[in-house]
C-alpha cells in the first residue's frame, strides 16, 4: 500500500489480472459444493420460468380458439406450479449464497486482520488509518459478493441466455433471428456505457476512501480540533471532501441510470419489429398471435441476462482492483518477524548490550550511528537528550519493534533477532507516553497483559502504583466500564492504569517512555514508592522529561547526534558540567522562573 494522505486518491485503475482471481479461488474452494447446488437450483428455477411463454402460446393458439376450458385450466395450473417452483428454488439458492458470501467475508477479513496485527509500526506510521480500515470493511464486502454471487451469476446468466435463445428458436426461427438483430446495437451501447460507468464508480470509491481517512483522523483528533478552535476549517475540509463524494456519485448514477432506458429502448424497438415482421413482412396470417406473444415475452427476457452480464463484468473490473488492494495489504512484508529457526528466549536475567548498532527510519537520516553499551542485570538507566535524538528508538530496538540496520542487540548474550518475538516481549514491560485504554472494564484493561490474573493480583498491582484509590471511588470500582481510548478518564488516571497493567505482567525488563508525563507532581511523589518497587531487581530504561524523576537512576545516558555523548550517574555528570549539566541546570532555572 503506497504512502498516502486523505488528499490523494488511491489509484484503482487496474487491468483485469487473472492471477488475483486464481489466488482468490482458495476462498471459494471451501464452499464449492454449496455453490454448485445453488447453480443447479437457479438453473431449474430459470428453466421453469422460460417454459411459461410456451404454455402461454399453447393457451392462445389452441385452448382458447378451441374453447377447451379443461386444457386451459390445466395450463393455468401448470403456470402456477412453474412459477411456484421457480420462486422456491430461487429462495433456497439465495439463502445458500448469503451464507457462502458471509463465510467468504469472514475468511478474508480474518486473514487480513491477522496479518495487520503482525505488521511493524512503520506501516501504520506512513498511512492514514481510515484507508486501511476501508480495505478491511468496504473492499472485503464488495469482493466477497463478486467471489460468491458474481461467479455464480456469470454461469447462471450464460445458461439463461442459452435457454432463452433455444426456446425462441423452438417457437419460431424467423422471429428469433429478428430478436438477435438487436444484439449488435446493444453491444455498441454497452461497451460505451460500461467504460464510462466503471471509471465513474472507481472515482466514487476513491473519494469515499479519502472521506473515510479524514473522518477517522478527525474523530481521533476531536479534542485538538476544539482546543485550537479549528471547527470551521475542518468543517470546510469535510464539506469539500463530501462534495467530491456527491459529485462523483451523481456522475456514476447518471451513467447507471442510462443503462435501463437504453436497453429498454432497444427492447421496445425489437418487440415492435417482432409485430411488424410477424404480422406484415413475413405475410399476414403466417404467424399466430400465440407465437408473436411468446417471442415477445422471450425478447423481454433476452435483454435481462445480457444487461446482468454487463453489470457483472463491470463489477469484476472494479472488484479486481479491490482484490488487488486486499492482497497488496496481505503481501505487505512483516519486516519484524520470527526467523525460520528462532528459539524461545530463556528466562531473562536482564543484561542488555548494544553492539555497534546503527538504525534509520528511512534513507534520509541516520538516527543511531554505531551505538555500543552494556547494561547490567537490575541496573536502572535513564535516557535523556533533545527531542528526536533517538531515546525512544533505543527502547523500541530493545523491544524489537524495529530491526537494526547493522550491529546487534543482545539480552543476556542472546541476539534478540534469533529468538521468537512472543518469548521476548512477554518478559518485558513497556509503558509508552500514550497510555492506550481499551473499551471494557478497568479490571479488564489491567488484566490485558496477564489474562489469568486474579482480582487480588489486580488490586495489589493497583495499590503499588497508587491507582487503587481512584479506581475504588469509581461507580462500579474495577468493574466500571470505560469507553474507547478511556475518554471518561483523565490522562493521569489512564497512565496509572497502564502502570498497573505493566506491573501485573511481572516483566524482567521494564521500559518507561515518558510514562509519568501526564501525572501531577503530588501523584508522582506518591507513585515514586511504587516505581521503586517496580524497578527493584529489574533492568529498567527510563525516558522522562522531568529530570528530577531520574536522579536516582544507576546510570544516565545523554543521547544526541546519533550516539551516546556522555554517560554516568547524576553526580558524575553534574561534576563534568557537560551536556547533561547544561540540560539539568536549564530545567532548574525554568522551574524557578515559573514557581
The reply to whether 504 falls in a domain is no
Residue 451, all three cell numbers: 489474562
The reply to whether 524 falls in a domain is no
The reply to whether 553 falls in a domain is yes
Domain termination site, one of 315, 330, 345: 330
The reply to whether 73 falls in a domain is yes
Please provide residue 27's backbone torsions phi and psi, each rounded to the nearest 5 degrees. -80, -20
Count of structural domains, the chain: 2
Domain termination site, one of 330, 349, 378: 330
Q: CATH code at 349?
A: 3.40.50.300
Range of the domain at 562: 336-427+545-595
CB atoms within 10 A of CB 250: 11
Domain termination site, one of 293, 313, 330: 330
Q: What is the DSSP string of 429-449?
A: EEE-SS----SEEHHHHHGGG
Same-domain status, 225 and 149? yes
CB 325 within 8 A of CB 137: no
pTM of the model: 0.63
* Per-residue pLDDT tens listing for the chain (595 residues): 455 566 666 665 455 566 777 788 888 888 888 888 888 887 787 777 777 777 877 777 777 887 888 888 888 888 888 888 888 888 888 888 888 888 888 888 899 888 988 887 777 777 777 778 878 887 888 787 777 777 777 877 887 788 888 878 888 888 888 888 878 887 787 777 777 777 787 788 778 878 888 887 787 777 677 776 788 888 888 888 899 889 988 888 887 777 777 777 877 787 778 777 776 666 555 677 777 777 777 777 787 787 777 777 767 766 776 777 788 888 888 888 888 888 999 999 999 999 999 998 877 778 999 999 999 999 999 999 888 888 889 998 998 988 899 999 999 999 999 999 989 988 888 877 667 788 788 888 888 878 888 888 889 888 888 888 888 888 888 888 887 666 677 777 887 888 888 888 888 898 888 766 556 666 666 566 667 767 778 898 988 777 767 887 889 999 998 899 999 999 999 999 999 888 888 877 776 665 5
Same-domain status, 289 and 366? no
Same-domain status, 72 and 135? yes
Distance CA 323, CA 142 (A): 9
Four-point Cα dihedral 580, 584, 587, 591, nearest 10: 170
Same-domain status, 164 and 265? yes
Amino acid at each position: 500500500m503506497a504512502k498516502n494522505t486523505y488528499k490523494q486518491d488511491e489509484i484503482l485503475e487496474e487491468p483485469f489480472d487473472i492471477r488475483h482471481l486464481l489466488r482468490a479461488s482458495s476462498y471459494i474452494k471451501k464452499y464449492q459444493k454449496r455453490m454448485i447446488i445453488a447453480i443447479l437450483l437457479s438453473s431449474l428455477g430459470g428453466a421453469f420460468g422460460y417454459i411459461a411463454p410456451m404454455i402461454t402460446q399453447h393457451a392462445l393458439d389452441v385452448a382458447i380458439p378451441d374453447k377447451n376450458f379443461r386444457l386451459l385450466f390445466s395450463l393455468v395450473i401448470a403456470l402456477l406450479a412453474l412459477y411456484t417452483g421457480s420462486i422456491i428454488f430461487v429462495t433456497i439458492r439465495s439463502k445458500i449464497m448469503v451464507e457462502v458470501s458471509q463465510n467468504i467475508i469472514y475468511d478474508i477479513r480474518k486473514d487480513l486482520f491477522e496479518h495487520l496485527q503482525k505488521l511493524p509500526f512503520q506501516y501504520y506510521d506512513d498511512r492514514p488509518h481510515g484507508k486501511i480500515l476501508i480495505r478491511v470493511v468496504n473492499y472485503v464486502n464488495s469482493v466477497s459478493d463478486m467471489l460468491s454471487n458474481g461467479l455464480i451469476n456469470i454461469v447462471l446468466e450464460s445458461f439463461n441466455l442459452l435457454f432463452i435463445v433455444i426456446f425462441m428458436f423452438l417457437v419460431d426461427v424467423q422471429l428469433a433471428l429478428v430478436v438477435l438483430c438487436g444484439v449488435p446495437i446493444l453491444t455498441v451501447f454497452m461497451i460505451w456505457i460500461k467504460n464510462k460507468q466503471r471509471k465513474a464508480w472507481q472515482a466514487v470509491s476513491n473519494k469515499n476512501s479519502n472521506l473515510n481517512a479524514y473522518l477517522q483522523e478527525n474523530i481521533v483528533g476531536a479534542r485538538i480540533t476544539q482546543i485550537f478552535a479549528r471547527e470551521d476549517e475542518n468543517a470546510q475540509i469535510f464539506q469539500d471532501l463530501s462534495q467530491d463524494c456527491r459529485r462523483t456519485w451523481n456522475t456514476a448514477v447518471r451513467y447507471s441510470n442510462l443503462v435501463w432506458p437504453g436497453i429498454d429502448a432497444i427492447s421496445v424497438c425489437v418487440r415492435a419489429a417482432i409485430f411488424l415482421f410477424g404480422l406484415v413482412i413475413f405475410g399476414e396470417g403466417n404467424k399466430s398471435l400465440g407465437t408473436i406473444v411468446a417471442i415477445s415475452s422471450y425478447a423481454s427476457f433476452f435483454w435481462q441476462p445480457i444487461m446482468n452480464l454487463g453489470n457483472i463484468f463491470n463489477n469484476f473490473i472494479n472488484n479486481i482492483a479491490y482484490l488487488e488492494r486486499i492482497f497488496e495489504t496481505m503481501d505487505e512484508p512483516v519486516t519484524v518477524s520470527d526467523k525460520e529457526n528462532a528459539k524461545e528466549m530463556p528466562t531473562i536475567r536482564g543484561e542488555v548490550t548494544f553492539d555497534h548498532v546503527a538504525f534509520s527510519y528511512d534513507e534520509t537520516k541516520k538516527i543511531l550511528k554505531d551505538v555500543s553499551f552494556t547494561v547490567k542485570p537490575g541496573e536502572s538507566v535513564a535516557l535523556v537528550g533533545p527531542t528526536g535524538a533517538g531515546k525512544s528508538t533505543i527502547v523500541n530496538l530493545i523491544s524489537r519493534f524495529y530491526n537494526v540496520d547493522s550491529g546487534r542487540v543482545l539480552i543476556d548474550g542472546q541476539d534478540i533477532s534469533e529468538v521468537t518475538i512472543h518469548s521476548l516481549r512477554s518478559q518485558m514491560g513497556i509503558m509508552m507516553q500514550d497510555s492506550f485504554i481499551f473499551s471494557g472494564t478497568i479490571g479488564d484493561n489491567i488484566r490485558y497483559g496477564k489474562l489469568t490474573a486474579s482480582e487480588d493480583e489486580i488490586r495489589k498491582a493497583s495499590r503499588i502504583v497508587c491507582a487503587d484509590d481512584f479506581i475504588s471511588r469509581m461507580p462500579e470500582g474495577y468493574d466500571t466500564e470505560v469507553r474507547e481510548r478511556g475518554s471518561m478518564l483523565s490522562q493521569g488516571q489512564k497512565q496509572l492504569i497502564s502502570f498497573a497493567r505493566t506491573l501485573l505482567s511481572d516483566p524482567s525488563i521494564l521500559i518507561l517512555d515518558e510514562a509519568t508525563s501526564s501525572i501531577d507532581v503530588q501523584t508522582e511523589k506518591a507513585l515514586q514508592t511504587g516505581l521503586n518497587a517496580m524497578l527493584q531487581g529489574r533492568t529498567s530504561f527510563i525516558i522522562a522529561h522531568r529530570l528530577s524523576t531520574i536522579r536516582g537512576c544507576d546510570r544516565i545516558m545523554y543521547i544526541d547526534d546519533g550516539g551516546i555523548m556522555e554517560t554516568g550517574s547524576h553526580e558524575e555528570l553534574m561534576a563534568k558540567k557537560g551536556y547533561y549539566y547544561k540540560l539539568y541546570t536549564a530545567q532548574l532555572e525554568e522551574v524557578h522562573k515559573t514557581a
